[in-house]
C-alpha cells in the first residue's frame, strides 16, 4: 500500500525581513518535497515599506520557479507609532542583498491588495488553508473588517507575535508584529477561538548562527541560494549583535520560521490554552500581550500559546530542508 500525503495549503502573510525570508525559503523547500502547496503570499508593511516587501517576495519566489504564486500588495500608510525595522534587516529588508536576487515577476501597481487575496483564497478553499502570519496583522484585520467572519474559514492561523514573560523587542512590552498595529492584532485575536501564537518567549531560543548557514551551504557552495543564505546570515548577525538581540551569541533570531516549523513539525513544540488579549492604549503598555495566569477555569479562550520549542531539532530539520531546496534548484 502506498501512503499518499496531501500537500497542506498555506497562505503566507509576510513583511520580508531576514527571518521572513527564511520562513519563505523553508516553505518553498516543503513545496518542492510535496508537503506544502503555497496558495498565495500576502505582503505587508512592517519591517520595510509595502512596495519593498512585495518586491522581495516576488524575487524569492522567482528563484525557485514559483513566480506563478499570487502575491498580494500590503495595506499602505499604516498609522503606526513605531518605525520600521530597516536598522535590523537593511534598507531593502534582506541585508541590502536584493540586487543578488532574480528580478521580480509581479507588478506592485497591478497586484490585488493583500486583504482581498486573503478573502478570495479563503472563500475558494474554505476550511483548507493554513495562514502563517509573520507580519503585523494589518492584512488579516482588514480582511476580517471587509468580510466579517472570513478568518473563520481558515483551517488554522499560526501567528508569530507578542511576548508574555520576556518583554518586548521594540518597547519594554511591545513585540514588533503586535505593536506595529495593535488595533489590527486585537481584531484578529477576537476573530476565532483557536489561534496558534508563537511569542518572543519561544523564538528567543532560535538563534541562527553562521555555523548553521555553513552547514546548509556545504551541499553546494556555488549555488546562488547558498551564497545568499550565507551573506544574509552574516548581515543579520552583525545587526543582531549591534542591537543586543542574542545575549552576545553570534547569531540572529529566526522568529518567523517558527510558524513553518509548527505547521509541519508540531512535535517540536509544547503549548497551553489561554485567552490572549491585546492592549491598544497607554503610552507604556500599547502593544502589550497578556492573559489571565490565575488557576481558575478558562472558558473564554482564543489561543493555543506555544510555550517551549526543541531548538536543537528545529535547526536540524531546517538545515536538512534548506539543503534539499538548494539541491532541487
Q: Max Cα separation, the chain?
A: 61
Query: Does 22 score more than 80 pLDDT?
Result: yes
Query: Does 1 score more than 60 pLDDT?
Result: no
Q: Beta-strand (E) ranges in the chain?
A: 8-14, 36-43, 70-72, 129-133, 156-160, 195-198, 207-208, 252-253, 269-274, 277-278, 289-290, 303-309
Mean pLDDT of 28-44: 98
Query: Does 297 score more than 90 pLDDT?
Result: no
Cα 69 off chain centre by? 17
When the pLDDT of each residue in the chain is averaged and rounded to a whole number, the result is: 95
- Stated pTM of the model: 0.97
Query: Does 69 score more than 90 pLDDT?
Result: yes
Of residues 314, 133, 56, 92, the one with CA closest to residue 209: 314
Mean pLDDT of 172-182: 96
- Predicted confidence band of residue 245 (pLDDT cuts 50, 70, 90): confident
Mean pLDDT of 87-112: 96
CATH 3.20.80.10 fits 6-326, yes or no: no
Cα separation, 307 vs 41, in Å, equals 27
- Locate the domains of the chain by residue range: 6-326
Mean pLDDT of 291-301: 77
Instruction: Please report the pLDDT score of residue 2 as a whole number.
Output: 60
Instruction: Please report the pLDDT score of residue 283 as a whole number.
Output: 83
Cα separation, 119 vs 187, in Å, equals 16
Hunting for cell 541590502 — which residue is that?
96
- Predicted confidence band of residue 268 (pLDDT cuts 50, 70, 90): very high
- Predicted confidence band of residue 155 (pLDDT cuts 50, 70, 90): very high
Residues with Cβ within 8 Å of 296's Cβ and at least 6 positions away in sequence, in order, are none
DSSP 44: -
- pLDDT, one tens digit per residue, over 184-212 is 999 999 999 999 999 999 999 999 999 99
Measured CA to CA in angstroms, residue 40 lies from 14, 172, 329 at distances of: 11, 34, 21
Amino acid at each position: 500500500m502506498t501512503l499518499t500525503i496531501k500537500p497542506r495549503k498555506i497562505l503566507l502573510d509576510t513583511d520580508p525581513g531576514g527571518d521572513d525570508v527564511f520562513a519563505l525559503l523553508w516553505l518553498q523547500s516543503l513545496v518542492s518535497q510535496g508537503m506544502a502547496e503555497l496558495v498565495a503570499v500576502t505582503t505587508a508593511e512592517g519591517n520595510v515599506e509595502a512596495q519593498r516587501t512585495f518586491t522581495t517576495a516576488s524575487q524569492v519566489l522567482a528563484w525557485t520557479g514559483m513566480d506563478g504564486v499570487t502575491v498580494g500588495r500590503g495595506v499602505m500608510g499604516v498609522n503606526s507609532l513605531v518605525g520600521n525595522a530597516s536598522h535590523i534587516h537593511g534598507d531593502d529588508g534582506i541585508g541590502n542583498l536584493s540586487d543578488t536576487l532574480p528580478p521580480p515577476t509581479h507588478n506592485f501597481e497591478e497586484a490585488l491588495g493583500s486583504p482581498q487575496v486573503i478573502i478570495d483564497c479563503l472563500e475558494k478553499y474554505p476550511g483548507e488553508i493554513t495562514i502563517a502570519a509573520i507580519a503585523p496583522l494589518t492584512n488579516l484585520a482588514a480582511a476580517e473588517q471587509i468580510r466579517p467572519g472570513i478568518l473563520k474559514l481558515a483551517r488554522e492561523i499560526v501567528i508569530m507575535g507578542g511576548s508574555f514573560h520576556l518583554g518586548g523587542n521594540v518597547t519594554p512590552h511591545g513585540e514588533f508584529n503586535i505593536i506595529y498595529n495593535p488595533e489590527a492584532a486585537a481584531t484578529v485575536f477576537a476573530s476565532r477561538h483557536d489561534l496558534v501564537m508563537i511569542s518572543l518567549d519561544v523564538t528567543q531560543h532560535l538563534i541562527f548562527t553562521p555555523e548553521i548557514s555553513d552547514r546548509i551551504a556545504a551541499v553546494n557552495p556555488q549555488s546562488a541560494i547558498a551564497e545568499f543564505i550565507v551573506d544574509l546570515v552574516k548581515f543579520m548577525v552583525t545587526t543582531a549583535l549591534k542591537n543586543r538581540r542574542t545575549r552576545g551569541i553570534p547569531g540572529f533570531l529566526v522568529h518567523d520560521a517558527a510558524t513553518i516549523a509548527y505547521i509541519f513539525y508540531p512535535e517540536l513544540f509544547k503549548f497551553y490554552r489561554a485567552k490572549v488579549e491585546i492592549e491598544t492604549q497607554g503610552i507604556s503598555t500599547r502593544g502589550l500581550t497578556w492573559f489571565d495566569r490565575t488557576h481558575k477555569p478558562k472558558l473564554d479562550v482564543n489561543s493555543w500559546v506555544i510555550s517551549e520549542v526543541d531548538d536543537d531539532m528545529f535547526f536540524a530539520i531546517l538545515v536538512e530542508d534548506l539543503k534539499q531546496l538548494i539541491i532541487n534548484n
